[in-house]
Structure 1
Amino acid sequence: MVNPEKGKILEDLLRLSPGANEADRRQKISVWLGSNGISNWIEYPIKEGRADIHLQHRHCIIETKTHVQLNKGIHTRGTGAREKESAYQQLCRYVESDRSQLRLDSMKLSWLGVITDGRRWHIFEWPLLGDGDKVNEIYRCEALDRERAARIAQILERNNYGKPWVPDNIKEEFDPYKEELMRMYRRMSVIKEIKTKKKLWLAQLKSGGNAPSEEDADDLFVTHTLIILISRMATNRRDREDLYEGFAGWVRERGDDIIKRLQNKVSHFNWAATQGDILRLLYEKTVDPSQRQLYGEFYTPDWLCEKIVCDTVDTRYMVSEARKFLKKIPINGILDPSCGSGTFLYYAAKRIIESKDVQAVFRDDEKLHNFALQMITGIDIHPVAVEMATANIRRILNTRKQVRIYQGDSIMLPHEDISLYSSVGQDILTVFTPKNHMLKIPLKFLEKDSNIKRFVSAAANGDKSLPDDLVARLGKSDMEQLIDAYKTMLKVVKDEGNDVWGWYINNQAKPLLLSRGNKAGRIVANPPWVLIRKMDWDADTRRHVKQLSERLGLWPGGKDAPNFDVSALFVSRCIEKYLVGGGRSSWVLQESALKDGKAWSTIRKKHGSRMTTWALGTTAFNRPSCVLLMGQGRAASYLYVSGCRFDGHETWNAVKPQIRIKRDREKFKWSRSEWYSGPSSMLARSGATIIPSPLVRIQNITEENPRSLTIETIPTAHKRWRIVGALSGTIPKSFAKDCVFSTDLIPFHIPTTSKCVIPVQGTSWIHNRKKVQFWSDACQIYGAHRKDGNPETLEGNLDSTGKLIYQLRNNKNMVVYNKAGSRLYAALNHEKHIVDRTIQFVLCRSEKEAWFLCSVLNADCLQDAYRATKQNPLDYVRFFWEKIPIPRYDPKNDVHVKLSGLGRQAHLTVRRGYAEDTCLKARKSSLGMLRESGHMEKIDLQVKKILPGFSR
């Protein structure tokens, strides 16, 4: 009997419209494969780009195309991902890349490649190793039906090869284990050893400038424990001491049963075969986004890491260090002092082992991998990041050996805290324990990793004195210092437990030891982007930061002091401490590093003669960013990288064809638009202030009646409003309004809206609104938590400077566009929705003028000019109206009339092809549709006629 759900899924695939976009086709094919028991991964990252659908352990790649593309034929140039590449050439490139990358060719299972639009299917088979090079088309289908679908499923189902890959829904696989660990922790949290580990963990997060709230701490502690255990198990760290090292070792007390089951679960998957940073994906899906944002954990996209490593870690340098390594001369390796999950180091190791020139030096895989292992070093203040980085390096190098990645503070600040801090003297590392025991340990003693472990082990065994060989090579002063430290260690073990100190002290010492040993030849890093006023540091630490910044010539002083960018100190300090003379370094930073300001001006002045800067806009992050490449090039140079923001897991090869790189800043001859007649009469306005989210933005409607709604609002991570959480209650239906935020906007279309509680009717407030309990409570909560200087009432905040009521009274022919970003997206607000402050709006004289303006604002050829008008890295606001002479609509002008018609046609195209997705992907796919259909080319052609000096 046919499963009804399975039959419905096939029907959806069979009914695919010829006009369906590629994303919609890909999704329907993926769901259909899943219904046949064929697990798959959408947009799977490989070296050459992103495979549309990857059948993980079945050696198969599926590339989806639109109906129009397949009509041209799979061997026609321009149907592939690259210019002048055919769909078949793209498929061959992807399959060959994956075969090479995974090294999984087997005499048991060949590789398959598929090109399809969902209706037409071309299936190719690559020969097994040793069977020649000919690729055969083994099946072709010109019109899918039930019988052919069954045959295709039979071909693709094929026998699995090896273990299943890590699934896309990785969080759901491990959620039950987190719940078990949480129950176990609650039973054991009073044990002194576990208390110590928890305090050490909390202090480590606090030393980074932020710590979880008291109510979140237990949950995050257990979550971090789970991720660390999975990271260690995924790289076959089965030794009991290795598995339980550090604060995660609290589970060893009573956790043997759950650990055994967790190990079995982890070993079920093939972690090595899965491409990219799979552990980062686990972390992002497991840790609540509000907590990740709180700690500043925003990771560098793969494609950017790969490109920076390629430009910084040059072949000449790698070969030189390889020859030194063979001669047993100390090497100057690659350091990431804020390594996060190790993405930079992953690509550095990958670049080393894949370099033909480096391979030629060794001619032996084992020596090559040992060299790569010694070449890379990482430091991070976040304990979970260190574990993920370690696991990722072990995956790429296929090793169980010790990896040089340490948990510590790269800029070596003393953190004075009642629970813990480490301070560094000239020859002494001082550690204060949670119970205020002070350990002073000679640095000479810490140079060998095993020393501190034996030191702690002896104390744990209750030995009255240290083994003779541990003190034999120390000078008299260091020996006396170590003996005193050992006496203190005996007390620490008695009061606070023993099995975490060796790991902790060893990690704390590493930054200082690295700064005094062989320095790095290359540094690649994305330091924390944070202002000093947002760091949760005590007064002494702030004083040390100020003194250190003053010494380096970075401290701004005065009113600018609270806005001091800590990443400037991080960059200067790391270059000073860790980089060898003549070495190179590359830094991913906020775009403000290219602007004025004492700190960055000082850094650019010092390194500018041999520095390349990349202005990235928002191609890499949701805020403007840049890269400073120091010690590279013979003279200062500037690159501007433009394009839409790309998925974090894209490879450089996939991104490269989609971006434009310009070597000089654009220069335009500015003049005012006809829409502009002065700041006070400018037609562009800002939307309403629809915040705070917990009081007005609806997340769920839990119950709906003819006259009322039961709702729950959206909580926020914002410090002032986080305590409010999510409100719930009942409101009249008339209170719920559809609102447009910038995340609802794509080119020429507003496909989604966000429900908000705004008690207005027509053009004014609803008279008896305060009688509704939910609104009354929300107004009181606002009054209790509002910031000084903000409007006194919630309603006053929503209608700040009349922005809400104005648009209720003036909403005809309203064109809306995003206030911030690297590209303008504009659409006509047909439904007269309320727009938020993340949106700017313009009122037009007619609908035809509105479509004309949409065409001009969305035009590809004007985006460089729009960006060049920004007065701050983030906002467009109204600046371009003052500088780009955009005309008012003239119905007698043929070009204007054509642009108006093209705008309306573009809207219909995007609306028909829209598939529900994230804002980023929806914008990307919509632009793709418009370019593929020729709409953008036609719009650009007309825009260039009216604004020739601004079109590119």
Structure 2
Amino acid sequence: MAENIRLLDSQIILEIFGLNSDIYAESVKFFKEKIKVSENYEKFFKEWKEIFEKIYGKKMFLDFFINHTYFAQILKILLITKLGTISSLNFEEIYKDYITINLKDLKLLEFDYYSWTHFSKDLFKVIYTKIGNTKCTKEDLFSNLYQQIFISDVRHKIGEFFTPSTLVQRMVDDIYIFGLKILDPSCGSGNFLVSIMNKIIDSSKSLQLKYKAILNVYGFDINPLAIITTKINIFLLLLEYFNIEKSLLPNLNIFLIDSLFPESYEKNTNINIKNLYNSFDLVIGNPPWLTYKDLYNKDYQIKIRELSGKLEIKPLSQFITHIELAAVFFYAIPLKFLKLNGIIFFAMPKSVLNGDHCYKFRAFSIFNKNLEIWDFPNYYFFNVNHICLKAEYIGKVKKISINDKFPIKTKIFNNNLELIEETIYSSLKIHENGAKLILPHHEASMIDKLKKSSYKNKFFQGATLVPRSLIFFQIEEKINGNFLISSDSDVSARAKKEWEYSFQNIEIERKFQFKTFLNKDLIPFFLKRKRNVFLPVNEQFDLDLKFLQKHPNALAFYKDINGFYQNHKKKTSNINTLFANLNFWNKLKKQENNKSFIIVYNASGSNLKAAVINNQIQKIIIGSENYYYSTNSENEAYYLSAILNSPSLSRNIKLIKSSRHIHKRPFMFPIPIYNKSNITHKKLAKKGKKYQTITQDLFLNNPKITSEKVRIIIHYKLLKIQKLIEEIIFL
């Protein structure tokens, strides 16, 4: 009876089938047993590996394959059960269909990767009991389970940031009109497409027009499991709310295609991809949030670099590794797929507005002047700063002055997606081929009046002391002037899987021990901890093999860790030795001549934190998580510490920084060079030194104290600094 029908939504599906469920545990056990006796397993596993190692750029293991098989088989059961229920089949008949039906009939070609096995009748019955007599809700049913199966570490490899349903719905409601031909070029589990399908189903149009509108909905993705998920998501929706049979299900236009390079996929999709070029009214979605350096395939890196050049958005050479795939998608997809005056609407990382690497992107050269930004100041929906960006495609022929595209209409939303303000965003500097920064107009006007600090060219980023598992160590024993060392357990516990490496009781000569610290060791005004690091260098911070040969223990250890580095580095990396990595861009060698006092601050984070290090006792190496400046003036160091720990400086940097990255942005504000004759400068230096002592005492009382806790405790003291800073800087 109708009252006994249960609703099946994304959360319930996660509870029934998630990685913590009994069904998952039993299924994994079952599949592992099947592998032992399956004649087909090796063939399918090999084909699957070839596909997914291209996607993820890492070794794919059996556990991943089993998880994928499990997920795909659950999708098949849900679909077959729904079809069977509509046809009034009993359990035995539905199970028979599950075993015998080839999903190719429904154009689910991608399921082939997972067809090497099926659930036993007993397991099927357990699952059937959970999902029988249910009604699917009108949503992306598999969003939660899909995210869990593709664990966050793996999803990051392909830049998948799942878009919350509330944001998807708001974007679709804003832009989609019934009948538009639309494309989601990176559709994932299908959340945008499902939302659009719901609008089609809920419309008052005829069934014939609804079918026509459905056939105007397209989705592309490079992940076969994403294609299966999207198709079955939509099939279940249509079966539930159109009450149709299998024979009437439409051929969905969801294809296994790389949207940036679709021609290479044409042979496997049985469509003429060129017929789709410049045919869409709307492109909507959430493209991959990857940068160039995240790509594991060197050939693909080259293709992306060349494509960004053709699109005229390629950054300067020092920013090449930061090319945003989302930015490439925003230009490449309209050029290939949108009609003239078609609309693109993407959720994107906010770095496209304020990152140096996106300077040319902000020319908006192929778009009309009616741009629109949706901003979310406290980044409610993703764990990095984000926006939604909407633009009208006008092509390369029609030219509109970049100045006419500014200011940009902007909507500010709260965490409930309620519109709280309509405003305009502008840029600090607009040139013919790009724009400096995009931010609220009044803030841009204020910042534009400021002069950069001369300290900008005096601060440097530290050395790339990675992989940490190879070079960070703890001292076990001192013997004959040497050290017996083992892996730093704290560092090892945090090592990425590909860099898991440990060593025990290795002897090295004392002169190869250096001190460094991690970003988490730094709190406002104080460095909580220094760590040991092995560096294979002479007194000039060079790798000198003749020098190393005089120190056989260090030489042997370096050979071991260098060999491990060479065997495990990314194939895309041209940095062929461990030392070359440690000294990348000469950032290690540059520290040879560091002076008596070093002021350091964090390269990224929500707030600035800075401290003074006395470099006279033992030289300390600064890592790339921090920026530094060395001076022989103790007062200058503490003066800078006071300014850099100022809450108002952190607050103003947030206006212009890209996601969590701080880099040299403190010096876009006019911090004056220290003047020993300036009374205010001397007062700031005195307070910087005093607050170091106060913070040190806080640490001694509570070694686990956090930066946030320090700021709370010394809040009123920071306000005193603020008053002094206002005398010398406009903040």
TM superposition score category, shorter chain reference: 0.5 to 0.7
Q: Which amino acid aligns with 2:69?
A: T
3-state DSSP class of the match of 2:369? helix
Tell me if the contact between 1:791 and 1:797 (Cα under 8 Å) persists in the aligned partners: no
Distance 1:599 1:671 in 2: 20
CA gap 1:557/1:171 in 2 versus in 1, 3 angstroms: same
2:346 matches 1:587: yes
1:226 paired residue number:
70
Distance 2:591 2:580 in 1: 12
3-state DSSP class of the match of 1:690? coil
Q: Displacement, 1:210?
A: 3.8
Q: Which amino acid aligns with 2:372?
A: T
Distance 2:632 2:132 in 1: 61
Q: How does 1:517-556 map to 2 (within 5 A)?
A: 519-521=280-282, 523-527=284-288, 529=290, 531=292, 536=297
Q: Displacement, 1:380?
A: 1.4
Q: Displacement, 1:818?
A: 1.7
2:364 paired residue number:
604
2:384 matches 1:384: no
Distance 1:411 1:885 in 2: 46
2:491 matches 1:731: no
Q: Which amino acid aligns with 1:609?
A: K
3-state DSSP class of the match of 1:260? helix
Deviation by residue 1:278-323 (Cα, 9 ceiling, x = unmatched): 95665555556665444x2331553xx8557635642xx65x63xx
3-state DSSP class of the match of 2:644? helix
- Stretches of structure 2 lacking an aligned partner (at least 5 in a row): 1-6, 83-93, 243-248, 395-403, 426-438, 542-546
Q: How does 1:392-471 map to 2 (within 5 A)?
A: 399=240, 406-409=254-257, 411=259, 413=261, 422-423=265-266, 430-431=267-268
Distance 1:345 1:910 in 2: 52
3-state DSSP class of the match of 1:340? coil
1:340 paired residue number:
188
Tell me if the contact between 1:869 and 1:883 (Cα under 8 Å) persists in the aligned partners: no
1:742 paired residue number:
519
Q: How does 1:582-661 map to 2 (within 5 A)?
A: 582-589=341-348, 591=351, 604-613=364-373, 627-631=388-392, 636-638=406-408, 652-653=416-417
Distance 2:305 2:461 in 1: 39
Q: Displacement, 1:340?
A: 2.0
Q: Which amino acid aligns with 2:628?
A: F
Q: How does 1:496-511 map to 2 (within 5 A)?
A: 509=271
Distance 1:912 1:394 in 2: 61
Deviation by residue 1:113-172 (Cα, 9 ceiling, x = unmatched): xxxxxxxxxxxxxxxxxxxxxxxxxxxxxxxxxxxxxxxxxxxxxxxx999947997499
RMSD after superposition:
6.8
Distance 1:371 1:939 in 2: 68
Deviation by residue 1:545-570 (Cα, 9 ceiling, x = unmatched): 97x999x8659799999988766664
3-state DSSP class of the match of 1:256? coil
1:862 paired residue number:
649
1:689 paired residue number:
464
- Stretches of structure 1 lacking an aligned partner (at least 5 in a row): 1-101, 105-160, 322-330, 417-421, 424-429, 432-504, 644-649, 917-921
Tell me if the contact between 1:586 and 1:628 (Cα under 8 Å) persists in the aligned partners: yes
1:826 to 610, 620, 623: 610
TM-score by length of 2: 0.62
Distance 1:526 1:276 in 2: 20
2:160 to 298, 315, 329: 298
Distance 2:517 2:167 in 1: 36
CA gap 1:165/1:225 in 2 versus in 1, 3 angstroms: closer
How high is the sequence identity, in percent, across the aligned residues?
A: 16
Q: Displacement, 1:671?
A: 4.2
CA gap 1:732/1:309 in 2 versus in 1, 3 angstroms: farther
Deviation by residue 1:561-611 (Cα, 9 ceiling, x = unmatched): 998876666445533565455442223456468889999669822214122
Distance 2:78 2:649 in 1: 49
1:575 to 334, 341, 348: 334
Q: Displacement, 1:707?
A: 6.4
Tell me if the contact between 2:607 and 2:650 (Cα under 8 Å) persists in the aligned partners: yes
2:34 matches 1:184: yes
Q: How does 1:848-859 map to 2 (within 5 A)?
A: 853-859=640-646
3-state DSSP class of the match of 1:184? helix
Q: Displacement, 1:409?
A: 1.4
Q: Displacement, 1:630?
A: 0.4
2:60 matches 1:216: yes
Q: Displacement, 1:338?
A: 0.7
Distance 2:8 2:234 in 1: 17
1:840 paired residue number:
627
Deviation by residue 1:193-239 (Cα, 9 ceiling, x = unmatched): x73x5566456557xx64655x5365543332233334556788566
Distance 2:133 2:701 in 1: 40
Q: Displacement, 1:267?
A: 3.8
Q: Which amino acid aligns with 2:189?
A: S
CA gap 1:185/1:790 in 2 versus in 1, 3 angstroms: closer
Distance 1:695 1:409 in 2: 39
Tell me if the contact between 2:476 and 2:485 (Cα under 8 Å) persists in the aligned partners: no
CA gap 1:610/1:672 in 2 versus in 1, 3 angstroms: closer
CA gap 1:333/1:256 in 2 versus in 1, 3 angstroms: same
3-state DSSP class of the match of 2:60? helix
3-state DSSP class of the match of 2:726? helix
Distance 1:522 1:545 in 2: 23
3-state DSSP class of the match of 2:72? helix
CA gap 1:512/1:299 in 2 versus in 1, 3 angstroms: farther
3-state DSSP class of the match of 1:946? helix
2:719 to 938, 949, 952: 938
TM-score by length of 1: 0.50
3-state DSSP class of the match of 1:584? strand
Q: Displacement, 1:383?
A: 1.5
Distance 1:944 1:690 in 2: 34
Distance 1:630 1:795 in 2: 41
Tell me if the contact between 1:308 and 1:586 (Cα under 8 Å) persists in the aligned partners: no
Distance 2:133 2:663 in 1: 49
1:141 paired residue number:
none
Distance 1:757 1:772 in 2: 11
3-state DSSP class of the match of 1:607? coil
Distance 2:641 2:18 in 1: 38
Q: Which amino acid aligns with 1:631?
A: E
2:544 paired residue number:
none
Q: Displacement, 1:839?
A: 0.8
Distance 2:501 2:135 in 1: 41
3-state DSSP class of the match of 1:379? strand
1:884 paired residue number:
670
**Farther-moved stretch of structure 1 (233-242 vs 664-673):** 233-242
Distance 1:943 1:398 in 2: 69
Q: Displacement, 1:382?
A: 0.9
Q: Which amino acid aligns with 2:440?
A: R
Distance 1:877 1:369 in 2: 52
CA gap 1:685/1:221 in 2 versus in 1, 3 angstroms: same
Deviation by residue 1:517-559 (Cα, 9 ceiling, x = unmatched): 8x444523325645599584979x999997x999x86597999
Q: Displacement, 1:652?
A: 5.0
